[in-house]
Amino acid sequence: MRITLFLLRRLAGGLALLVVLSMLVFGLLYLSPGSTLQVLMGSRPPSPALVRALNAKYHLNEPVVLQYWHWLEGAVHFNFGVSISVETGEPVTTLILDRVGLSAELALYALIIVVLVGIPLGMLAGTRRGRATDRGISLVSTAAVSAPAYVTSILGLYVFGVALGWFPVYGLGTGFAGRLWHLTLPALTLAALLGAIVVRQTRAAVLDVVSQDYITFARLRGLRRGRILLKYTLRNAAVPVLTSAGILLIIAITAGLFIEQVFSLPGAGTLLLTAVTDKDIPTVQGLAMALGILVVVVNLLVDVGVLILDPRTRFSTKVR
């Protein structure tokens, strides 16, 4: 019951955060240089008739508070308006739903690579502290986490797309196999960055866990190495790794933006870039909400995951 209340409190906090976020995004876009009207008119001279028509259509001559209210009114009914300039006339919800799927596919693909490669490498480095394996893994992960996403993207594109010709340099492909092939290079690029963080987190957590008494006792009891690693080390090291998911999400969103751009993937990242540049307020607002919801939900899931993994946190929740 107390855990339910705790989760409800987190949900309410998330909702309040979304409202504040929407106000901030709307206000900042409004205050940024240039006008939406100018974006709509493009590079052509405005005629009074054109200005009147556009103002009326998009409520541009109304006070900013009223403009925000119009948006909020629609948003509570899940109507985020229509795109002003990215795809003129297209409902924002449709636009986002069309794009977010690709970003989710890319993120999932990268996540699978991270889990399958990053966590085992981190554990390997942690259990072989100070040895050549540890140094090698640490060196590679430091390089991967330090390299800017756009540099690794372009290098990857050149080496594997142009020089070696293993992967396509743009496009989405058709069918499952085609899509998988087209997303492999961007997913690897994203996974390199995220994996490096996971490797370092896992290594640090494993280093902490392997020095605990219960691991020593497990060894003394003659338990198999694999069992100690999976049952004792991995489970106890999982909490700090899991709690880093929030950071990973933010990095994935930021890096994904560059990666989508370089690999010409029309996902949520490229949509956000275009919408911000073109001052397409309804689209930016819709995307900000979608990303905000994603962050709130992921953080909530992390909380639930930690509660499941570590019984002590359940106890502390009850006490609070």
Partner 1 sequence: MHQRTTVHQRKEKARHPGHRLGAVASASGLLAILALAPATSASASAHGRAQGSGGSTFTWALDDPQSSLDFAVDPEIQGTGMVMSLVTQPLEALSSTNQYTPVLATSVDLPNSTTLVYHIRSGVKFSDGAPLTATDVAWSIMHAVQPSLASATQMPSIASATPTGPLAVTVKLKTPNPVARADIAMTVLVQNAAFAKAHASALGTASAVPIGTGPFKVSSDTASNITLVRSSGYWGKYPPFNSVVFPVITDDNSRELAIRSGSINGSELVDLKDIDQWASIPGVSVYKSPSNSLDLVGFDVAKPPFNDVHVRRAIAYAIQKQALAHAALDNNVSPVSGGLVPDYEVSDVAGSLAAANKFISTLPSYNYSPSAAEAQMKQSAYPHGFSTTVQYIDTVPWELTFVLALQQELKPLGITVTPKPVSFNAWFGDFFSHKLVGLNLLTLANALVNDPSGILTYFVGPQGSYNFAQFQNPVVDNASNVVNSDVSSAQRWAATKVILSQVADQVPYIPLWTEPSPLVLKGYKFTSSSGLTLFQMTTGQWIYDLKPAS
- Which residue ranges make up the site for partner 1 (CB under 8 A)? 32-35, 37-39, 41-47, 49-50, 52-54, 57, 83, 85-90, 98-99, 150-151, 154-155, 157-158, 161-173, 258, 261-266, 270-271, 273-274, 276-279
Nearer residue to partner 1 within complex by CB, 54 or 121: 54
By the 8 A CB rule, do 153 and 185 touch? Answer: no
By the 8 A CB rule, do 219 and 233 touch? Answer: no
By the 8 A CB rule, do 94 and 172 touch? Answer: no
Nearer residue to partner 1 within complex by CB, 79 or 243: 79
Shortest Å, Cβ 73 to partner 1: 20
Shortest Å, Cβ 288 to partner 1: 16
Nearer residue to partner 1 within complex by CB, 215 or 273: 273
Shortest Å, Cβ 271 to partner 1: 8
For residue 124, the surrounding DSSP H or E stretch is helix 119-127
Count the neighbouring beta carbons within 10 Å of the beta carbon of residue 70: 15
How far is it, in rounded angstroms, from Cα 127 to Cα 122? Answer: 9
Shortest Å, Cβ 258 to partner 1: 7
By the 8 A CB rule, do 192 and 256 touch? Answer: no
Nearer residue to partner 1 within complex by CB, 92 or 245: 92
How far is it, in rounded angstroms, from Cα 176 to Cα 252? Answer: 23
Nearer residue to partner 1 within complex by CB, 6 or 150: 150
Shortest Å, Cβ 172 to partner 1: 5
Gyration radius (Cα) of the chain, Å: 24
By the 8 A CB rule, do 81 and 92 touch? Answer: yes
Nearer residue to partner 1 within complex by CB, 161 or 240: 161
How far is it, in rounded angstroms, from Cα 116 to Cα 275? Answer: 35
Q: Report how far apart, in Å, the C-alpha atoms of 233 and of each of 204, 209, 240 are.
A: 12, 6, 12
For residue 282, the surrounding DSSP H or E stretch is helix 281-309
Shortest Å, Cβ 102 to partner 1: 8
Shortest Å, Cβ 248 to partner 1: 22
Give 91's strand partners: 82
Shortest Å, Cβ 74 to partner 1: 16
How far is it, in rounded angstroms, from Cα 311 to Cα 306? Answer: 8
Nearer residue to partner 1 within complex by CB, 114 or 257: 257
Nearer residue to partner 1 within complex by CB, 48 or 226: 48
How far is it, in rounded angstroms, from Cα 75 to Cα 196? Answer: 38
Nearer residue to partner 1 within complex by CB, 42 or 222: 42
Shortest Å, Cβ 295 to partner 1: 22
Give 82's strand partners: 91
Planar angle of CA 65, 68, 70, nearest 5 degrees: 110
